[in-house]
Structure 1
């Protein structure tokens, strides 16, 4: 009796069944990529992919499982960032964006002003209220934010290009109450492009450890309290205002105040020797051209972009142990760019590359910063008249 064909049929069905069964990491939603402050043998930041998070408390630790089923337990201090591979950006139809002075912004509909605070209704987070001293302004989604904000008055920018200085006294979802030299007016929001709030910001007492959330509607918000588990995310703003959202609403999180500090986040002094009077401002988290840093084809979203004949000086106060960075020419420097690169700590030369070129040879450096008070990064012209002297101090990070 010939049973070869039925057996073949059953084998095919079994294989199809296995193919239809996703791996463990794919079955868990969402699928997280976790970057840590741990350094690998290749001098890279340790990254865990396909992580299913069971529990994470910002003040404690993260626990979960990796794609291979192995358990993972990380202290919050060791976490640099999380990225949700299962979520994509999907802007909402909300017409307004609230800008905070710390760089955060929230998409939503303005609700009210009362007791020195402004409320906004977020499609993802619900109603949130912020003290006016923390708010830089409110703008329509398609408008631009002015680069300067007055200290002694508020300003309304109208869609027709006009503007009006005064004091914002009230706000609803449809109108702004504004006191100016023209008297007290109620102005429909349909006429307004942007409102900036003057006054000095209230002194902020930032907690030691915070996380900045990036949401799928384009909002970003810093929180001081956070618990993440299967039910979603429960958090509180730095003003201790609670809110919640689903895991699918989160694109990524950046932990601030942990073991790793991006060098570009620290203040620095810049000395530049100009060529023919040309100035090249230092760029934070981009190449000196203003574009994304690229070194040997790899994009870097953290670091400092400079032109040759520039020295950066940082005050570290001896609080860090390690510096990790990739000193290199930006890919846009090809084919003629070249430079001399030096790293000096408290007057001691730690790194000297007399002839850096964009040739694919850039590698990460790990340098001891134990007890270092002053760090200098120097990029000099390599007898090439500064032609395409575009230097990246890429992925520069300090670790405690």
Structure 2
């Protein structure tokens, strides 16, 4: 089983992602090792502490590489742990080494390398190497330039016949068997660090300019070109933490830090099946068969097409015996024996050539006409004379010969069935933290038909055959074209306008969140080609209309129906965005189009798009179908119709083509809801007017709103949004609650009922069934299982005391300024941001056993903060750091809270008053049962980042020593 275990930093949709590979025998299969190792593969052994490599002098470079599909970019940190058991003295420079290398293209030609090696003097050192063996960073290049200048000035010139002076090598001393190498990029600069027995913290070894390109590969390797004896080292693990990581496929993460790469394929007994046979779609309605062929034994399902009249009593024993031996049906076996007997007399050679044809053509006739008579007359005689011999001796052989149609078939091996695909993992649902799908968003769409809508018209007709378009000639000699040059006739732009014909309606999905500059559509109809475009300047394409709310990922397109029918035809759609990027899709129409279908003015107005904001940070998007006294009606983009209780709705943002109320402004209004509903209406002057009152519902295409003791109506096309009054939120259901994030920003939670190939069925919090299209699901996050983030809970008590008069209220999942949580260069999706003095108390009710967090300072604090940090369980202090500093690494906590009723997190003023006291409890979470022992020990014994050179050791934590680096990957960083 291919597993990846890590203490991961970012959850699903966070800004930083992590890939961690333990290389011990329990975490990497031999087949995986064979695919990812290189060089002297027989010298690479899987052991309990990692990959053990032994190399004799002169053997090829050997090591392990990341999978070819893995790519990562942006800012990154790469760490690798090694153990040197024997690194022999070489005969020449760089003769023996072990190290880490990265490349933007081919990892065999690395762009940056950090190695530990032995000099010819016997000294153990570290050396950084740039691309193609260049000197190490700016310092090495400067030293090389100085040596060249000295040579040019006659200083240090070699004597006649002597060798040129050897340039000095910049190296750093190495100590201890166990060590950690680190490459860290910020912007375009890669910095080298190392942690070993030389010091208790990481050391800075220089830097190079790498650029901002993505990294295509990483390798851990060992070299023994000319050592005095064999080399013996262990590769323990590799961790990559980057802004983006691609190529790993779907990730299923557990609350205990395990990652399984594979698609979820089933839900069985409260467990999520990862990998294995893909889910199958529900069976279609079984086909019905004609009367005579539908006969079957009572209570037995009959295979389609395998029915015939019952055989005679004399034939039944033989039929049962033949069925038992061959696994076939008795009717088919009788037909086969009949054919064999007749062929054996007159056509022995045709038995192997023509028999299959006779079986398929003549069998039905024999079954319905001749078979019963032959069974009753001929069979007894055959049974008396030939049948015993055939049954005991010849029949099995004839079966074996006749089926392959080859006399030597008995020597050929039987075809082996394909191996059964076993699942990669069966994970209890309450231990799943989340599922992240690595899906490329591709433009898609469908034809909805011809609704009662009219926005556009046909374009200009092409010139008739023989007609000559007038050129744009001018009498001005300066502007006139030279002789022989004809200026093309200008085609005026055609603006869309209603013409009384129902437009063809298309919908597009998975648009980028960018403005659209141009849309073109081409199709071949029954009466010739047709083309439409958004901007028809200098084109005879017909004008189309795009209806899109801001930069939503969904849009509606309206086209004038062409003269020919589009049913069964392909429409090629091309999108050009304002930033220059393009997208395209091919949509097959399954609807008829009618160029003469007139608009019915008496029909009701069409539905508008709307984004509906729900409690619990959930969102829905679709066609707004109405507002009732206590519910809202919405049709999802994939066709489900929902009736959502208003008790769960906090706001409705209408999908108008042009918004005056920005999405950011509307989001602020949602956070400050009052005691009345708030209507955001567009005035005649195109200004937003906020009207407090009571939303009473909708009637046809109007909103009924009670304002100043009177119910008034307003057309929905003038409604920008509606913020519902604040009210007590409904209680969240107990137990496991998966939340599904969909394409287009849809976020909805519910009980996961079924998992099928195309549809996932869930039951919403209000009890309605919802069919989610599996292809649109981007991620799934589980709450209420074995782990709970503190940011998913509400504190039972908040005590905040400013040092002066200005108070900075605590916030969850963002920093105090509303930006992403960032500690020591790492971005976290979940956590709490506080300012001194702050005390947050949470009711645990004895449901949890362990509290974990990374506590440190917001990067915006500029290394100025100093606070008193403490944690209490039922009033008992379980952690204390009276001088937590912003200029020190953050601290990773793993504290016991078993049976505790309350948890209190205290950040008090430090020695420097409250300057820079912006503290983040990153990844603050509670476990119902203790994490696995190895994970817990690693979390308790390792600081959050031990690679900061020269930084003091954080209090109440233990820095990993160079002789014992068995901590969990990434936990000692």
Q: Judge same fold: TM > 0.5, yes or no.
A: yes
Deviation at 1:183, TM superposition (A): 4.3
Deviation at 1:100, TM superposition (A): 1.9
Deviation at 1:356, TM superposition (A): 2.2
CA distance in 2, matches of 1:132, 1:363: 44
2:271 corresponds to which residue?
61
CA distance in 1, matches of 2:881, 2:915: 18
CA distance in 2, matches of 1:317, 1:65: 37
Is this contact kept in 1: 2:609–2:622, CA < 8 A? yes
1:168 is the counterpart of 2:695: yes
2:435 corresponds to which residue?
82
2:48 corresponds to which residue?
none
CA distance in 2, matches of 1:328, 1:214: 30
Is this contact kept in 2: 1:296–1:360, CA < 8 A? no
1:265 corresponds to which residue?
792
Identify if the C-alpha distance between structure 1 residues 350 and 227 changes in structure 2 by more than 3 Å, giving closer, same or farther.
same
Identify if the C-alpha distance between structure 1 residues 371 and 248 changes in structure 2 by more than 3 Å, giving closer, same or farther.
same
CA distance in 2, matches of 1:242, 1:171: 25
Identify if the C-alpha distance between structure 1 residues 47 and 330 changes in structure 2 by more than 3 Å, giving closer, same or farther.
farther
Deviation at 1:61, TM superposition (A): 1.2
1:127 corresponds to which residue?
641
Identify if the C-alpha distance between structure 1 residues 368 and 204 changes in structure 2 by more than 3 Å, giving closer, same or farther.
closer
1:99 corresponds to which residue?
613
1:109 is the counterpart of 2:623: yes
Which residues in structure 2 correspond to 1:30-45 (within 5 Å)? 31-38=249-256, 45=257
CA distance in 2, matches of 1:72, 1:172: 52
1:286 corresponds to which residue?
814
CA distance in 1, matches of 2:425, 2:616: 32
1:366 corresponds to which residue?
894
CA distance in 2, matches of 1:365, 1:351: 9
CA distance in 1, matches of 2:792, 2:744: 25
Identify if the C-alpha distance between structure 1 residues 179 and 307 changes in structure 2 by more than 3 Å, giving closer, same or farther.
closer
2:763 corresponds to which residue?
236
Instruction: Please identify, of 128-137 and 76-85, the stretch whose mean Cα deviation from structure 2 is larger.
Output: 128-137
Deviation at 1:74, TM superposition (A): 0.6
Which residues in structure 2 correspond to 1:137-148 (within 5 Å)? 137-140=651-654, 142=659, 143=661, 144-145=666-667, 146=669, 147-148=671-672
Identify if the C-alpha distance between structure 1 residues 117 and 30 changes in structure 2 by more than 3 Å, giving closer, same or farther.
farther
Identify if the C-alpha distance between structure 1 residues 173 and 107 changes in structure 2 by more than 3 Å, giving closer, same or farther.
farther
Instruction: Please identify, of 239-248 and 192-201, the stretch whose mean Cα deviation from structure 2 is larger.
Output: 192-201
Residue among 302, 311, 315 paired with 2:830: 302
CA distance in 1, matches of 2:838, 2:800: 4
Deviation at 1:122, TM superposition (A): 1.8
Which residues in structure 2 correspond to 1:203-222 (within 5 Å)? 203-204=730-731, 206-222=733-749
2:954 corresponds to which residue?
none
- SS for the counterpart of 2:791 is helix
1:394 corresponds to which residue?
922
Deviation at 1:165, TM superposition (A): 4.2
Is this contact kept in 2: 1:95–1:140, CA < 8 A? yes
Which residues in structure 2 correspond to 1:325-364 (within 5 Å)? 325-359=853-887, 361-364=889-892
Identify if the C-alpha distance between structure 1 residues 272 and 185 changes in structure 2 by more than 3 Å, giving closer, same or farther.
closer
Identify if the C-alpha distance between structure 1 residues 165 and 315 changes in structure 2 by more than 3 Å, giving closer, same or farther.
closer
CA distance in 1, matches of 2:638, 2:824: 39
Cα RMSD after superposing both structures: 2.9
Deviation at 1:173, TM superposition (A): 7.6
- SS for the counterpart of 1:107 is strand
Report how many aligned residue pairs link the two structures.
364
Identify if the C-alpha distance between structure 1 residues 389 and 247 changes in structure 2 by more than 3 Å, giving closer, same or farther.
same
Identify if the C-alpha distance between structure 1 residues 355 and 244 changes in structure 2 by more than 3 Å, giving closer, same or farther.
same
Deviation at 1:341, TM superposition (A): 1.4
CA distance in 1, matches of 2:800, 2:707: 44
Deviation at 1:106, TM superposition (A): 0.9
CA distance in 1, matches of 2:726, 2:891: 47
Question: Scaled by the length of structure 2, what TM-score is found?
Answer: 0.35
CA distance in 1, matches of 2:773, 2:262: 17
Residue among 375, 378, 385 paired with 2:906: 378
Is this contact kept in 2: 1:101–1:201, CA < 8 A? no
CA distance in 1, matches of 2:872, 2:706: 55
Identify if the C-alpha distance between structure 1 residues 177 and 317 changes in structure 2 by more than 3 Å, giving closer, same or farther.
same
Deviation at 1:384, TM superposition (A): 1.2
CA distance in 1, matches of 2:654, 2:781: 26
1:47 is the counterpart of 2:259: yes
Q: Describe the superposition over 1:351-376 as per-residue Cα deviations: whole angstroms up to 9, x where unpaired.
A: 22233234463242211111112222
Residue among 168, 189, 194 paired with 2:721: 194
Is this contact kept in 1: 2:758–2:775, CA < 8 A? no
Identify if the C-alpha distance between structure 1 residues 379 and 155 changes in structure 2 by more than 3 Å, giving closer, same or farther.
closer
Is this contact kept in 2: 1:87–1:250, CA < 8 A? no
- SS for the counterpart of 1:133 is helix
Q: Describe the superposition over 1:292-343 as per-residue Cα deviations: whole angstroms up to 9, x where unpaired.
A: 1112221111111111222222221211111111111222222322222111
More helix by share: 2
Is this contact kept in 1: 2:832–2:921, CA < 8 A? yes
Q: 5+ unaligned residues in a row in structure 2: which ranges?
A: 1-67, 70-246, 277-421, 442-509, 512-552, 556-607, 929-973
Is this contact kept in 2: 1:30–1:84, CA < 8 A? no
Identify if the C-alpha distance between structure 1 residues 231 and 108 changes in structure 2 by more than 3 Å, giving closer, same or farther.
closer
1:321 corresponds to which residue?
849
2:705 corresponds to which residue?
178
Deviation at 1:200, TM superposition (A): 4.5
More strand by share: 1
Is this contact kept in 1: 2:798–2:841, CA < 8 A? yes
CA distance in 2, matches of 1:216, 1:318: 38
- SS for the counterpart of 1:370 is coil
- SS for the counterpart of 2:263 is strand
Identify if the C-alpha distance between structure 1 residues 113 and 371 changes in structure 2 by more than 3 Å, giving closer, same or farther.
same
